[in-house]
Structure 1
Amino acid sequence: MPRPDLNLLITLDVLLDTGNVARAAERLGLSPSAMSRALARLRATTGDPLLVRAGRGLVPTPRAIELRARIGPVLRDAHAVLQPDTALNLHTLAATFTLRCSEGFVETFGAALIARVARDAAGVRLRFLPKLDKDSTPLRQGDVDLETGVIGQDMGPEVRAQRLFGDRFIGVVRNGHPLTERRITPTRYAAGQHILVSRRGRDRGPIDDALDREGKTRHIVTTVGGYGAALALAAGSDLIASVPERHTSTMRSALTSFPLPFKVPGMTISMFWHPRLDADPAHRWLRACVREVCGDKP
């Protein structure tokens, strides 16, 4: 069965409104002959003459009068569908947003973000998932609504990104650790026993690259897959953990933190989303909540 030409609805609406082929053609920016052809198609499609001559004008048939009453609501609904959706009612919004976050985000920002969301939309639920890699497939497939982390090479080129905050590496040891008894120098830091954090099990990271520039090498005793594990080991031993400062702020409350005594490149934490959600009002609101809770403060 052939698909109907929905443009004919607009043509019919204008024809019935004007009752004149020439005026209808002028309103739609068509030639009179093109409008006459459109009227012929309408007659063939509906099986009704629709407009018939009465003196010098055209008058609608009973079928045309019936159709006119039905065309108006259809065209108004179609117009509404094709307009930007700006009528977001947060008080009645019921939705679950899935956020995939790098380690430390939930521990540091999760409670404040949940409270911020609930303040506007009590019917919204947040689902947090761990970010085990930088693959953007979950965003592309719609399994994840929003991600946080550092931009990586594995991220799809179509993914949208917006900066949240800058972060830097710091050192962390147990309270009373011998390293904190005197000024911490690159030599004293490197001479300690260290925990390497590597999600992929690598044997070095950006801190080792920075120490190379100082002519130093640290002694790595163990490698773990996350900051939480590194901080737990540091709390129960003389091992030294090096973690992002802001990302782990609530995880280090019972430990001693110190600035690294050498320059290590900082990192930018961003949020990512798929472009299909770019204009969605609920998603724009969610992104605004995330920026408000953990974005750079003026």
Structure 2
Amino acid sequence: MLNPIYYAISAILWFWHKVVSYVLDPDSGVSWVLAIVLLTVTIRAFLVKPMLKQMRSTLKMQEMQPKMQAIREKYKNDQAKMMEESRKLQKEMGVNPIAGCIPLLVQMPVFIGLFHVLRSFNRTGTGGTQLGLSIEVNRNTPNYIFGVDEVQSFLDARIFGVPLSSYISMPNEMFGAFGTVDFTRGKIMAVAAPLILIVVFATHMNARLSIARQEERRRSGKTKAPQNDMMATQMQMMNKMMLWFMPGIILFTGVFWHIGLLFYMASNNVWTFFQQRWIFAKVDAEEEEELARKREAKRTTAPRPGQKPKNPKKGKNS
């Protein structure tokens, strides 16, 4: 079922490794890490437009909350009519709730796909999805798009002295798949632990940036506060999950993450930080332009000082 995703991820990684190999040694750890970073850039660049649409949709949804609340109250005894009117309002406002899920729906398969592809370079283990291959068979078995030579290149590549598909909790019997065992679990920990902490910290800070924007918009009156205690509680829970729960999951599951995957997560978070700032600035500018346009339209249609406002109804009656 997930094979198309695995082939797609391995194809993108293969492409960038080939590109990088024109400049760097194709068998070096740096060339493979750079290929992983460029894979990250490729995926995230593809998601810039959906993320921008998601942000615009979120603002429109906040704007139409009072109307949605009025529909709920008016049709509280008629669920079918409530859903019909809600969809009608969403269409009028140009809001598509499903579109907001696209970035997450794309990023999760990418994460899972890259995790699997990197793990599949070394299939000498016996747990989980491992095949229990012998060292020789593993080194001579293709990995999706990657041929035998590329599999061996990846297995023998080192970054800071450790293999890219090694991880802290890797069983000792899998070490032999990397050719010469010139590393220890301590070395893997020395490389992986700082990367895990960087990813945890970056995830926390990206969440803090998003929450700070929410609070700033509420203080400026651009976004209304939750309409009841239940909604306020739900928002607080969501914010706490973003700030602490997600970084906590990364911290405690990081022992299972390959070095290459940690580089993906680190570069992904760096991209997220700058992308969020750019999208926030762009959407805010668009919002200010829209407000200015409405003010100008209101000013041009308002009666001049001393002039009586026109009364269309009076004209019809006369």
Structure possessing the higher radius of gyration over alpha carbons: 1
The structure richer in helix per residue is 2
The structure richer in strand per residue is 1
Question: Structure 1-normalised TM-score?
Answer: 0.26
Question: Structure 2-normalised TM-score?
Answer: 0.25
